[in-house]
Chains A and B, each alone.
Chain A
Amino acid sequence: QVQLVESGGGVVQPGRSLRLSCAASGFTFSAYAMHWVRQAPGKGLEWVALTSDDGRLSNHLDSLQGRFTISRDNAKKTLFLQMNSLRAEDTAVYYCARDLATTGGFGELAFWGQGTLVAVSS
């Protein structure tokens, strides 16, 4: 069965960096686009970033102003989110998610990890 397991969250000071990982299993990782979605405490869902199946295409939320970078290692079946210059407003649970299908467009988020909490605080 499809499994996505995030790790790398924790408490970090403003201005510091953090790298999240998402280990995938139960499907052909290299065939699917992958996403990061975050949820601030008590708030709604916010899409963060997308990487295509081969990693050649990526897209990020404009408001992140280039601070976050999505990437993947298909050989290791792992998705990453490099987060730099962290701010208090980046505090959230970060979920990785897999697209529904290998073809067609992006954004139908069929499988989700359990999330990892990032808390930015001094």
Chain B
Amino acid sequence: DIQMTQSPSSLSASVGDRVTIACRASQTIDSYVNWYQQKPGKAPKLLIYATSTLQSGVPSRFSGSESGTEFTLTISSLQPEDCAIYYCQQSYSSPYTFGQGTKLEIK
């Protein structure tokens, strides 16, 4: 199975900050990485698919990129409503594994 390793596991940032979350795959997965946001008590929400394509309705402050087997989710200017847990996931092959999550808090 492909392992997805996220970092950091948690972070705290201020409104307006630029925030970056990383995800490393255990093997080559082309660009088959997706990012989800989950707020407490809610289902996950797809933010970005295929590494860098923004899902419909997602604010443009969210973006995704890759460098080899390392993938990055960036929030360009953190907003209070971005407080959530973020997960990466590979859709290269079954089982479609998720990273362990990054808890983002607002200072």
Chain A contacts to B: CB under 8 angstroms? 35, 37, 44-47, 50, 59, 61-62, 95, 100, 105-110, 112-115
Q: A112 to B91, Cβ gap below 8 A?
A: no
Bound: A46/B97 CA distance, A: 7
Q: B44 to A107, Cβ gap below 8 A?
A: no
- Complex: chain B residue closest to A4, CB-CB: B43
Q: Which residues of B contact A95 (CB under 8 A)?
A: 43-44
Q: A47 to B95, Cβ gap below 8 A?
A: yes
CB-defined A-B contacts under 8 Å, sample of 8: A44-B87, A47-B97, A95-B43, A100-B55, A107-B89, A107-B92, A108-B46, A114-B43
Chain B contacts to A: CB under 8 angstroms? 1, 32, 34, 36, 38, 43-46, 49-50, 55, 87, 89-92, 94-101
Q: Which residues of B contact A62 (CB under 8 A)?
A: 1, 95
- Complex: chain A residue closest to B56, CB-CB: A110
Could you say which of A44, A61, A105, A114 contacts B91, with CB atoms under 8 Å apart? A105
Interface core residue of A44, A46, A59, A109 (most chain B CB under 10 Å): A109
Q: B43 to A47, Cβ gap below 8 A?
A: no
Bound: A64/B55 CA distance, A: 31
Whether A61 touches B95, Cβ cut-off 8 Å, given contacts A107-B89, A108-B34, A109-B36, is yes
